[in-house]
């Protein structure tokens, strides 16, 4: 709990007392306001809200692009207000663009690959993420697997989760021709072409491969000369949903190595173990490397620490934890 006094949040006709230590999102949900959110920790931007009166701490605007910050947009899930404020839902025209689904494929029994054509060009870097908003307002973040200089479409890889609202809709119901709202691009997990001979280590599990394939293709297309080591982890062989494509890409590029890792199955063409453990066995000394970690949040955060301990400089470790809206009875650690 902080020393901040109770302040008032005005949302339309509703005035809510926000207790010390409470976030604006918590206060709005407590008051029964139906507002979108997912990760609750400033990662996904699905809760983005407009400030119409007062000021909010500047750290509640981290990750929001400058032009939107200047218009008062902030993230209520990480905002503990220090003064009375007025808030409103985002202006759709300021936040969202439109995109039409052009293709839905199911490369594994749990992952679908969705291609979208935005109504106006989206200027993004491979590996960034966008938010997808369904017509009922449900909004979730998905990383971009496409590369702007190579692909006309936006590509997402969505892993179906048990009882997951958006991911099951993607997997079961979404059809080409359907339109969705998109917000973004967001995030800073992408390739920077400043040191072309730097070794890159890319580790992801499940659909955590999505930003990594974009980053790897972007680096190769940009003429990266250093080695690029891509580790994809899953439990069983069926989860290696881009196996053929990645093997072909590695055949074409001498500096790309692809290492599929299975934690529950042995096969002649895969390594046994978690992707992050296998990667560290192969690359025990990471000084001078740039490391990209994407997917399951506990893996990403643990591996961030281990990569640092192995010698990677903190600014050279890029992370994209796929934080979920936690609806489980027992919270994750």
Ligand X SMILES: Cc1cc2nc3c(=O)[nH]c(=O)nc-3n(C[C@H](O)[C@H](O)[C@H](O)COP(=O)(O)OP(=O)(O)OC[C@H]3O[C@@H](n4cnc5c(N)ncnc54)[C@H](O)[C@@H]3O)c2cc1C
- Phi and psi based region of residue 127 (left: phi greater than 0; alpha: psi -120 to 50; beta: remaining): left
40 binds ligand FES (CB under 6 A): yes
Q: How far apart are CA 143 and CA 214, in angstroms?
A: 9
| Region binding ligand FES by CB under 6 A among candidate stretches 31-39, 102-110, 227-235, 287-295 | 31-39
Q: How far apart are CA 146 and CA 216, in angstroms?
A: 10
Q: Which residue number places its CB atom closest to ligand X?
A: 164
Q: Which does 207 bind (CB under 5 to 8 A by kind): ligand FES, ligand X, none?
A: ligand X
142 binds ligand FES (CB under 6 A): no
What is the smallest separation between the CB atom of 320 and ligand X, expressed in angstroms?
A: 6
Q: How far apart are CA 207 and CA 226, in angstroms?
A: 25
Q: How many residues bind ligand FES (CB under 6 A)?
A: 12
Helix (H), strand (E), coil (C) string for 270-327: CEECCHHHHHHHHCCCCCCCEEEEEECHHHHHHHHHHHHHCCCCHHHEEEEECCCCCC
The answer to whether 170 touches 256, Cβ cutoff 8 Å, is no
Among 37, 73, 241, 292, binds ligand FES (CB under 6 A): 37
CB closer to ligand X, 27 vs 324: 324
Q: Which two tokens stand for residue 296?
A: 């399951």
CB closer to ligand X, 63 vs 227: 63
Among 9, 24, 28, 39, binds ligand FES (CB under 6 A): 39
Q: Which does 219 bind (CB under 5 to 8 A by kind): ligand FES, ligand X, none?
A: none
Q: At what angle do helices 297-309 and 275-282 cross, to 10 degrees?
A: 10
Site residues, ligand X (CB under 6 A): 38-39, 43-44, 129, 140-143, 157-159, 161-167, 187, 207, 210, 320, 322-325, 327-328
CA angle 123, 126, 131 (to 5 degrees): 70
Question: DSSP 3-state assignment of 58?
Answer: helix
Q: Residue written as tokens 């972007």?
A: 218
CB closer to ligand X, 99 vs 280: 99
Site string for ligand FES, 73-112 (x = CB under 6 A): --x-x-----------------------------------
What residue ranges bind ligand FES (CB under 6 A)?
A: 37-40, 42-47, 75, 77
């Amino acid at each position: 709990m902080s020393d901040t006094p109770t302040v008032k949040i005005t949302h339309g006709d509703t005035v809510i007392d926000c207790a010390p230590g409470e976030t604006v999102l918590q206060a709005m949900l407590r008051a029964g306001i139906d507002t979108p959110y997912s990760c609750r920790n400033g990662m996904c931007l699905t809760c983005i809200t407009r400030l119409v009166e007062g000021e909010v701490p500047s750290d509640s605007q981290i990750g929001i692009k400058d032009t939107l910050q200047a218009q008062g947009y902030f993230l209520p899930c990480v905002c503990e207000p220090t003064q009375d404020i007025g808030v409103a839902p985002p202006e759709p025209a300021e936040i969202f663009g439109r995109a039409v689904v052009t293709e839905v494929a199911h490369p594994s029994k749990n992952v679908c690959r969705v291609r979208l054509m935005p109504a106006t060009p989206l200027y993004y870097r491979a590996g960034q993420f966008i938010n997808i908003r369904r017509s009922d307002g449900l909004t979730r973040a998905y990383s971009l697997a496409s590369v702007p200089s190579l692909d006309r479409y936006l590509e997402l890889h969505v892993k179906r989760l048990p009882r997951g609202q958006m991911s099951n809709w993607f997997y079961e119901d979404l059809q080409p021709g359907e339109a969705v709202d998109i917000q973004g691009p967001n995030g800073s997990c992408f390739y920077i072409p400043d040191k072309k001979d730097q070794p890159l280590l890319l580790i992801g599990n499940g659909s955590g491969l999505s930003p990594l394939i974009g980053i790897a293709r972007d680096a190769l297309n940009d003429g990266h000369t250093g080695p690029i080591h891509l580790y994809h982890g899953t439990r069983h062989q069926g989860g290696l949903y881009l196996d053929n494509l990645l093997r072909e890409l590695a055949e074409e590029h001498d500096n790309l190595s692809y290492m599929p890792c299975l934690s529950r199955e042995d096969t002649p063409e895969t390594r046994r173990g978690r992707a992050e453990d296998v990667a560290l066995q192969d690359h025990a000394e990471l000084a001078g490397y740039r490391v990209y970690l994407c997917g399951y949040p506990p893996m990403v955060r643990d591996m961030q620490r281990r990569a640092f301990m192995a010698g990677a400089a903190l600014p050279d470790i890029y992370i994209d934890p796929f934080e979920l809206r936690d609806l489980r009875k027992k919270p994750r650690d």
